[in-house]
Structure 1
Amino acid sequence: MFRAIGWRRSSHFTAVSQALFVTFLWSTSWVLIKIGLVDIPALTFAGLRYSLAFLCLLPFFWRSKGTTELRQLNQSGWLRLIALGLIYYALTQGAQFVGLAYLPAVTVNVMLGFTSVLVALLGLGLLGERPSLWQWLGIFVALGGGLLYFYPVQIPQGQVVGFVAAAIGVLANAGAAVLGRSVNRVGQLRPLTVTTVSMGVGSGLLLIVGVATQGLPALSWQSWAIIGWLAVVNTAFAFTLWNVSLRTLSAMESSIINNTMAVQIPVLAVLFLGEQLNGREVLGLVVAIIGALLVQLGRKRKGST
């Protein structure tokens, strides 16, 4: 019995360590993207990253007989899967890269933190999921933190495009989260199949649009190294490791760990990108993170009133 208990503790510690490592990798992506955007056009950059990541996942998809799952999908299932790829990868990731091209990483991070707030509100109308009292509290706390961070609201002319792109990214990310929850509710497809197919659809369109509108400049080996690392390590490998950790972690634990990115990204941006935060912005960031965490953790369990 003691061996079993020890194994469980060890397994849980390993899962937590894996999830924390993945969130760190995802947080470093923001630093690498900001560095890469100096030489790589935003949409082309995003298209290259996720197209290469899709190619990395494809062999695992084939080996796990993912095509068998796809043959069982009806037209409605295919449409939802394609829509998820277009919204989450083509629109959300494309908008995020454009936003990072014009705005500090911390600012984009704060804006994307409102995704959980929008998901709660969209779930009310589209999925019939009523926010709990804790979620409503979290929504107001997050909004208050955002207002504190951006006060007074002054948008330099050169950053207008970035704010518009980041706002589109937040809306698209929230829509993709709701759509992804709807796809996973059906339970026909495994996460690997959903991710591989949707990533293939979205990244392909993103790369075509990027090359057509922004071109594909001659890139240095450093730029290709950043693209390759983001695709292979921070996307394909990190996604696989995250799903391994989810076999042990509860939904609440994974939400808390995932939320640590909201702290990691500003720290990395200050250390490696030279971005600066004053006291008011730090306080607003902390309040917004607390609000987003309340929204995530306050989700009602099935069967609760």
Structure 2
Amino acid sequence: MRKREEGKMSRYTYAWFAVLAVTVLWASSLIFAKIVFVELTPIAFVALRYTIACPILIPMAQFARRRQKPSVESRKHWKAVVAAGLAGPFLSQVMQYIGLNMTTASDAVLLLNFTPVFAVILAAAVIDERMTVTKLLGLAMATLGATMIVFNPAAVDPNISPTRLIGDIILIASTFFFAVNGIIGKIAVKSVDSVSLTLYSTLSAVPFLWVSVILFEDLSVLLALSPETWIIIIWVGIVNTALAFMLYYESMKHIEASKVQIALNLIGVWGVLMSIPILGETISLLQILGGAVTIFGVIMVQRGRANRHKNQSTEGFQENF
């Protein structure tokens, strides 16, 4: 009995280490993107990232399907899977990295915490989830924090240029589309295992990503990429995407979903800490305060949802950082 309890405790501890690793990996994705944007355009980066991740996700999905036999019901949700791919890996990711290219990495990692806020608003509208006082206070705090971040004059851009402001707005819009992805994913994951959902939604997005590269960017830049840039792209595709998702979903088996979602707010902390020494960015006291207010507001929102669903087991479908 004691050994069984120790085994459960060790799995729980390892799961938390996995969550921490995921937060570091997803935060570093934005830093890596800033580095490669010197040679590579945003949509091409996203397209390469998910194209590289797909071959890694395929065996993971096959293993998951052996453990959970696909039901007839799962075939009915193919539209939801495609919609999840368009909202998440396509629209959300494209907007996220276009916005990142126009603003600072520290702004980006702090504003991306806005996804749960939109998730609560959409849940109230789409799946009739009750809006409580705690949620409303959390939404107000998150909005205030985001405003402090966006209108903070960064040292690299002290005059709040239109480019940086537009980039921040695009980033916030990207969190809305990933919240849409989360609502759709929550519906689809009832009959499709989470890894397969990630794979198929990604596969459905990849063609749209490459068409967007052809239409809006210069495909020839791929021929001029340095070996260092290719190493970063391959690393992000395999480690920051495929491996990170494997760790993320594995941790969800041992830790409550609401706790994992709250822990993912560390992405903003790691991202800011990385952007200072690696990218040479500086962060002001107002920006730090705005990030703290945003994260605290998001935690209030998530705790409000957790209290309502504390007896339910749900699987998250978080931002593909």
TM-score, normalisation: structure 1: 0.91
Aligned to 1:134: 134
The residue type paired with residue 297 of structure 1 is R
Whole-Å separation in 2 of the counterparts to 1:160 and 1:17? 36
2:91 pairs with 1:88: no
Distance 1:160 1:54, change over 3 A: same
Cα gap change, 1:147/1:64 in structure 2, threshold over 3 Å: closer, same or farther?
A: closer
Answer with 258-267 or 53-62: which moved more.
53-62
Which residue number in structure 2 is paired with residue 102 of structure 1? Answer: 102
Residue type matched to 1:36 in 2?
V
Shift of 1:260: 1.1
- Is 1:294 the counterpart of 2:295? The answer is no
State the shift of 1:200 in Å.
Answer: 0.7
What SS does structure 2 have at the residue aligned with 1:298?
helix
**2:257 aligned with 1:251, yes or no?**
yes
* Structure 1 residue ranges without an equivalent (≥5): none
Matched, 1:190 2:193: yes
1:171 aligns with 2:155: no
2:271 aligned with 1:265: yes
| Cα pair distance change 1:30/1:303, threshold 3 Å | closer
Q: CA shift at 1:278, angstroms? A: 1.3
8 Å CA contact retained: 2:114, 2:172: no
Instruction: Indicate if the aligned counterparts of 1:119 and 1:174 stay in contact, CA closer than 8 A.
Output: yes
1-structure distance, mates of 2:175, 2:140: 17
- 1:116 Cα shift? 1.2
- Kindly indicate whether residue 12 of structure 2 is the aligned counterpart of residue 5 of structure 1: no
Would you say 1:156 and 2:141 are equivalent positions? no
**AA paired with 1:14?**
Y
Q: Which moved more, 1:250-259 or 1:81-90?
A: 250-259
> 1:198: how far off?
0.1
Q: How many residues align?
A: 301
Q: How far is 1:3 from its partner?
A: 2.1
Instruction: Please tell me whether the aligned partners of residues 149 and 281 of structure 1 are also in contact (alpha carbons under 8 angstroms).
Output: yes
User: Helix, strand or coil: the match of 2:124?
Assistant: helix
In structure 1, distance between residues paired with 2:114 and 2:133: 18
Alpha-carbon distance in structure 2 between the residues aligned to 1:139 and 1:257: 18
Aligned 8 A contact 1:113 1:289 in 2: yes
CA contact (8 A) 1:44 1:211 kept: no
Aligned equivalents of 1:89, 1:58: Cα separation in 2 = 16
Residue 12 (structure 1) shift: 1.2
Q: Within 2, Cα distance between the matches of 1:13 and 1:37?
A: 37
Cα separation, 2, equivalents of 1:65 and 1:125: 32
Contact 1:123 1:129 in 2 (8 A): yes
From 169, 175, 180, give the equivalent of 2:185: 180
The two structures have a TM-score, normalised by structure 2, of 0.87
Q: Distance in 1 between matches of 2:124 and 2:268?
A: 25
Residue of structure 1 in register with 2:29 after alignment? 29
Deviations 1:9-62 (A, max 9, x none): 222111111111111111111111110111011101100101110122123334
- Does structure 1 retain, via aligned residues, the 8 Å contact 2:95–2:173? yes
- Three-state SS of the structure 2 residue aligned to 1:58 is helix
Residues in 2 aligned to 1:213 and 1:146: alpha-carbon distance in whole angstroms: 29
Assess, with a 3 A threshold, how the Cα gap between structure 1 residues 163 and 286 changes in structure 2: closer, same or farther.
closer
2:238 is aligned to: 232
% identical equivalent positions = 26
Give, in whole Å, the separation in 1 of the partners of 2:243 and 2:34: 21
CA distance in 1: counterparts of 2:39 and 2:181, whole angstroms: 29
